[in-house]
Chains A and B, each alone.
Chain A
Amino acid sequence: MVPKPDDDYDYLFKVVLIGDSGVGKSNLLSRFTRNEFSLESKSTIGVEFATRSIQVDGKTIKAQIWDTAGQERYRAITSAYYRGAVGALLVYDITKQTTFENVERWLKELRDHADANIVIMLVGNKSDLRHLRSVQTEDSKAFCEREGLSFIETSALEATNVEQAFQRILTEIYHIVSKKALASEDGPSAAPSSGTAIKVTEAAPDAKKKQSCCSGA
């Protein structure tokens, strides 16, 4: 079978989108993968999937993104998708304080169910609604510094920073992965002790075929 261009990638990273209901996770995903925004989209039930490839340092990174339902009831189902994820975009709504307050609970979810080395980025969405802002950028920044997370504010509606958010988290994951791959080339003693290493790097970085780091594929 002739491989389709879409199949051609150097790395496959599984990323999850999590956060409270109605913060705009699905629209961030559709903006990133299809450049679409829907003003009246239905709620996500369970989990939805989309994918897109980007270039980092001349390598093709394919992101397999799982968008999850925000309601607490669904966590038993959605947390199964955290397994094998190397990145998580934890989204809140800058106009709704409670969605920011709940970030801690989402972090706990990740600690309980995801890989310990998962890269987490906090995303304050709906930055276009300036006049309704209730979560200050400084507060989020301070929180992220304390927790060791990256942070960005986005507007899926205006397509502000959406590309950057995904680009940054995927680049960060890529750097960790390639660093670890490099380290393992140096010899067995260097690799496993490294604190930043993540488990998902079994695949050699240059193999031009499917190297799944995800349980799903």
Chain B
Amino acid sequence: MSSDGGFPGVRGLFKGRGFPGTVKFSRKGASPSEGEEQQQQQQPPRHVDPRDPVAAGIAGLSVESRPMESISSTSAPPPSAASSRGARPSSGSSAGDASRRTSSADEGGGGAGGGGGGAQQQGGAEQQDGVEVTQLRSMSSTRVAKFMRLLDEQVVDLEALRELSWSGIPPSLRPMCWRLLLGYLPPNRERRMQILTRKRREYRDLVPDYYEQAASGLDQSGEELGALRQVAVDVPRTAPGVAFFHDPQVQKSLERILYIWGLRHPASGYVQGINDLVTPFMCTFMGEHMQGPLEGWSLDGLPESQLLDVEADCYWCLCKLLDGIQDHYTYAQPGIQRCVFHTQELIRRVEEPLAAHLEAEGLQFIQFAFRWVNCLLLREVPFPLAIRLWDTYLSEGSQLKDFLGYTLAAFLLSWSSQLQQLEFQELIMFLQKPPTADWCEKDIELVLSRAYMWRASFKGASSHFS
């Protein structure tokens, strides 16, 4: 039972029972009924818009028809925009409206998910706007305008888009930019809708071929059964702090994406942690259909076809992302080992005293940095920042593999002097749970820009690291 979070029957046992020590529910709303109430409060009744704003946006249609004000209103919404946020228009709306709704939902996604971090709680609209304003430092209207200009081109200049996106993408444009950066959609806008339709259909055809057979228990090998079992064990443990990921439909989607990906990539198969890597895609693409903060998202009323479209987009984008780092997940995970070694070499060069201290304490980089690479730091930072990290990762494209080592080194150096005071055991405890709970965007951007600088200065010396 997915609602049990992978612990069948356990939830029922909790009623009226006491357990020793601390029993943690990572989700908000400790008891199921309490959680439901909360959701109902946060979630205004959903009216399904018969038009699909997402598809329009992808075709590049709404981009040009979007009035500029509606976009810039996302950073400092006028009272009218803020008050209209709660209710969803019930009938066909202008593209401008659509984009505004999309963007507010996205920012919700960006500002929410602090379940682990807890830094940014969003209860009412007021708070939410506050988060938007602080979060969108880099989203000045000129910046948004630059994105709009690029995306408006008949053929998007991908290099320019990479450069611009590297420093963060406005939430409302993120889904579109990610699809382009990953090469899931072509730069030529005329072909976009056609390709999107084709890819989504292609994915739908994969589901019966791969997943449904296995799930029905027919016709599968022991290996396939094992893979399905592994995915089924991990799906309920995906982003446990984010209630949305506990929706049975979302879990089914995740299960299909991961299982099918594994089966179609037999060199590695599904590896634990890849489930984490889907979550930024899921939130970003689902955000096109949701409104309000992530905590309040509900799939009620979302047509199945739209859910399947989101699922398809997540699947193909995951494929694109993992294509570049597949040796992170093949036998003995050589890609990860190389990346960890690269990180270690960098620390040796830029912060010798720290490298010496870690060595003297007998700490090996693989002991703490393995997970950092395996989940691309996703587990080490609050969820909204992971989405920001993704902006840069996806902008790096084929360079991501190389850039990761620099990113990890810069991340580690966030605590260089602190670390030099710790001994082996303290070090490992510290580094397996680095204190980033109250990090905000500028902290992660500092890490990224340091990484950028080092790469620039070490370029040409990379042969030392191989």
Contacts and interface: CB of A to CB of B under 8 A. Distances in A.
Nearest to B425: A51
B424 A217 contact: yes
B7 to A, nearest CB: 6
Given A48-B432, A128-B13, A74 B21 contact: no
Contacts of B236: 40
B7 A21 contact: no
Interface in B10-42: 10-11, 13, 19-27
B10 A39 contact: yes
A216 B367 contact: yes
B24 A22 contact: no
Nearest to A51: B425
Interface string A135-150: 0000000000000000
A152 interface: no
Given A76-B333, A131-B9, A159-B19, A43 B234 contact: yes
A158 B276 CA distance: 29
Contact residue range for chain B? 35 or more
Contact of A157 (B10, B26, B272): B10
A69 B272 contact: yes
Contact of A158 (B19, B27, B432): B19
A217 to B, nearest CB: 5
A38 interface: yes
Interface stretch (B319-327, B371-379, B447-455): B371-379
Contact of B229 (A41, A98, A128, A159): A98
B233 A77 contact: no
A31 B240 CA distance: 19
A190 B146 CA distance: 81
Contacts, number: 128
Interface in B22-77: 22-27
B25 A40 contact: yes
Interface string A56-88: 000000001000010101101100000000000
B341 to A, nearest CB: 14
A67 B268 CA distance: 23
Contacts of B234: 21-22, 43
Interface in A17-59: 21-22, 31, 34-51
Contacts of B271: 71, 73-74
B333 A38 contact: no
A38 B9 contact: no
Contacts of B268: 73
Contacts of B230: 21, 71
Nearest to A24: B7
Contacts of B23: 36-39, 157
Contacts of B27: 40
Given A39-B7, A41-B240, A157-B10, A49 B20 contact: no
Interface in A106-142: 128-129, 131-132
A21 B233 CA distance: 7
A36 B429 CA distance: 16
Contacts of B413: none
B425 A46 contact: no
Contact of B6 (A22, A35, A46, A69): A22
B20 A159 contact: yes
Contacts of A46: 366, 370-371, 374
24 contacts: A21-B234, A22-B233, A22-B237, A38-B24, A39-B23, A40-B237, A41-B237, A43-B233, A43-B275, A44-B272, A45-B371, A45-B374, A46-B366, A46-B374, A49-B428, A49-B429, A49-B432, A50-B429, A51-B425, A64-B425, A73-B269, A128-B10, A132-B9, A216-B362
The 5 closest A-B pairs by CB, nearest first: A35-B21, A40-B240, A22-B233, A46-B370, A76-B332
